[in-house]
């Protein structure tokens, strides 16, 4: 009958083959992927995707941030597009599924609709966001951030990598800059399929989960500066050792996080560098990068104040100076209740009771949720491992998540 959502099945083998083919671009030494944002490997992955979608007759555009929008027309193209997507850039030694699953699942949705000669009422948009990982250029989720206006253009384009190359220069070098204005598209909704990147689904024996929101994240850069001196002649009581201050700070922060009454706090020291290290020299300067997370904004704000207090205490105790920069803050983000309910309904139609859960990691969906109804689907990560060459998700879980994505996107695109 008119308006009824057709039932279609994705091709699980085709999906898996696409994932493995993409993994051939920028392979890392131990079976993972290395496609850092706006490198030639990243550009090659995008080109492969475009070859696939062009074979389906889809058109595409890029904006000046390099965000890629792949269009599949609907019966009523005046309506805002139902969108889905993720990212293709990886960590330096990343996996084959983080981000890429969401993009290639979207490709499989497009292919499945083409196989069944289905044109949806609303148009569809498959989006590949620039620099989601933030490993080459900080902050993370940059392309979606600047597109939604939640990250200013200057911060995005002037971010530099370890070699001093700006993101603007890298986008131009890869010929990935487009003419589409930032934020021009009006989206009806945004769906993102992603691996969980944690152990919960696997531990519970659940093949997929429905994400209700994303925990808050704060990033910090800290520098502690003391006095370099000879390791032998300088008594301990005379030293101004920034490494001792740094280790004391890390231990104090760990104790604070472990004492969180909800057990929801997370602390990661992602980088720890001794400037000009030498075995028999007291370090003169230490650089730290911290990642702090919580599912409650008030508790995260309290931990933010704790970071500064403990850092100053540790610096004063060792007689060193402290520089603390708050690099990035992403508040706790709830997703759209209507879309969550639609995923629950779609999962039940597949005979599944998918648990609802919060995401421990940031995703482009965080930024999108501020401009359009947004939701995410998770599938398990083996042993909870991600951002690692050993990252793996079973083919059947990739397929099931993609089927749920297809069903939910199709229902959204066909609704009156």
Each residue's pLDDT tens digit, 284-343: 999 999 999 999 999 999 999 999 999 999 999 999 999 999 988 888 999 999 999 999
Annotate 133-154 with DSSP letters as a single string: S-SSSSSSSHHHHHHHTSS-HH
Q: How many residues does the chain have?
A: 416
216-330 has which fold?
Alpha-Beta Plaits (3.30.70)
Question: Shortest CA distance to 63 belongs to which of 154, 166, 183?
Answer: 183
Q: What is the pLDDT of residues 73-131, one digit of tens each?
A: 999 999 999 999 999 999 999 999 999 999 999 999 999 999 999 999 999 999 999 99
- Residue 133 labeled ligand binder: yes
Q: Is 387 marked within a binding site?
A: yes
CB 332 within 8 A of CB 295: yes
How confident is the model at residue 59, as a pLDDT? Answer: 98
CATH 3.40.630.10 domain residues, the chain:
12-215+332-414
Query: What is the DSSP secondary-structure string of 46-71?
Result: HHHHHHHHHTTT-EEEEBTT--EEEE
| 98 among annotated binding-site residues | yes
To the question of whether residue 363 is assigned a binding role by annotation, the answer is no
Q: Quickly count: other Cβ atoms within 10 Å of residue 31's Cβ.
A: 13
Element (H, E) at 293: strand 285-294
The C-alpha atoms of residue 46 and residue 43 are separated, in whole angstroms, by 5
Measured in whole angstroms, the distance separating CA 183 from the mean position of its chain's CA atoms is 19
**Confidence class of residue 362 from pLDDT cuts 50, 70 and 90?**
confident
Nearest to 345 by CA among 407, 389, 301: 407
Instruction: Print the SS3 string covering 346-412.
Output: HHHHCCCCCCEEEECCCCHHHHHCCCCCEEEEEECCHHHCCCCCCCCCCHHHHHHHHHHHHHHHHHH
Per-chain mean pLDDT for the chain: 96
pTM: predicted TM-score of the whole model, two decimal places = 0.85
And the tokens for 407? 């069903």
Q: What pLDDT score was predicted for residue 328? A: 84
The CA distance from 9 to 410, in Å, is 12
Share of the chain above pLDDT 70, in %: 99
* Token reading at 203: 């531990």
Indicate the pLDDT class of residue 4, thresholds 50, 70 and 90: low
Q: What pLDDT is attached to residue 1?
A: 37
Strand pairing partners for 59?
A: 71
At residue 278's C-alpha, the angle toward residues 277 and 283, to 5°, is 60
Does residue 150 have a cis peptide bond before it, meaning omega lies within 30 degrees of 0? no
Residues of the chain with CATH 3.30.70.360: 216-330
Q: How far apart are CA 25 and CA 16, in angstroms?
A: 15
Query: What is the DSSP secondary-structure string of 7-18?
Result: P----HHHHHHH
Q: What are the strands, taking DSSP E only, across 87-228?
A: 124-128, 187-195, 209-214, 216-225
Residue pLDDT, tens place only, 228-270: 999 999 999 999 999 999 999 999 999 999 999 989 999 999 9
Residue-wise burial string across 38-76, b where 16 or more C-beta atoms lie within 10 A, e elsewhere: bbebbbbbbeebeebbeeeebebebbbbbbbbbbbebee
Binning pLDDT at 50, 70 and 90, where does residue 2 land? very low
CATH class of 12-215+332-414: alpha beta
């Amino acid at each position: 009958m008119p308006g009824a959502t057709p039932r279609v099945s994705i091709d699980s083998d085709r999906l898996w083959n696409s994932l493995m083919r993409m993994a051939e671009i920028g392979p890392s030494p131990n079976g993972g992927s290395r496609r850092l944002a706006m490198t030639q490997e990243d550009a090659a992955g995008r080109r492969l995707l475009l070859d696939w979608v062009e074979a389906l007759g889809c058109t595409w555009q890029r904006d000046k941030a390099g965000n890629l929008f792949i269009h599949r027309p609907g019966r009523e193209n005046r309506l805002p597009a139902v969108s889905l997507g993720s990212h293709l850039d990886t960590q330096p030694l990343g996996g084959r599924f983080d981000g890429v699953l969401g993009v290639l699942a979207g490709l499989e949705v497009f292919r499945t609709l083409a196989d069944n000669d289905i044109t949806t009422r609303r148009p569809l948009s498959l989006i590949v966001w620039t620099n989601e990982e933030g490993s080459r250029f900080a902050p993370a989720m940059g392309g979606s951030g600047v597109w939604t206006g939640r990250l200013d253009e200057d911060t995005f384009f002037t971010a530099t990598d370890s070699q001093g190359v700006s993101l603007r220069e890298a986008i131009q070098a890869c010929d990935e800059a487009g003419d589409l204005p930032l934020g021009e598209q009006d989206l009806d909704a945004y769906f993102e399929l992603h691996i969980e990147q944690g152990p919960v689904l696997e531990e519970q024996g659940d093949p997929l989960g429905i994400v209700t929101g994303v925990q808050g994240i704060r990033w910090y850069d800290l520098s502690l500066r003391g006095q370099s001196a000879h390791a032998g002649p300088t008594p301990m009581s005379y030293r101004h050792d920034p490494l001792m201050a740094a280790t004391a700070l890390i231990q104090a922060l760990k104790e604070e996080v472990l004492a969180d009454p909800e057990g929801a706090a997370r602390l990661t020291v992602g980088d720890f560098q001794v400037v000009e290290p030498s075995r028999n020299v007291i370090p003169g300067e230490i650089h730290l990068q911290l990642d702090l997370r919580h599912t409650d904004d008030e508790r995260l704000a309290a931990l933010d104040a704790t970071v500064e207090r403990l850092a100053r205490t540790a610096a004063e105790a060792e007689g060193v100076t402290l520089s603390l920069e708050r690099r990035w803050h992403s508040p706790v983000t709830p997703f759209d209740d209507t879309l969550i309910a639609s995923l629950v309904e779609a999962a039940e139609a597949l005979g599944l009771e998918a648990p609802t859960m919060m995401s421990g990691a940031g995703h482009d969906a965080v930024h999108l949720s501020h401009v359009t109804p947004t939701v995410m689907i998770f599938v398990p990560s083996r042993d909870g491992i991600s951002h690692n060459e050993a990252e793996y998700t079973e083919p059947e879980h990739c397929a099931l998540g993609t089927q749920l994505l297809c069903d939910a996107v199709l229902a959204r695109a066909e609704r009156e």
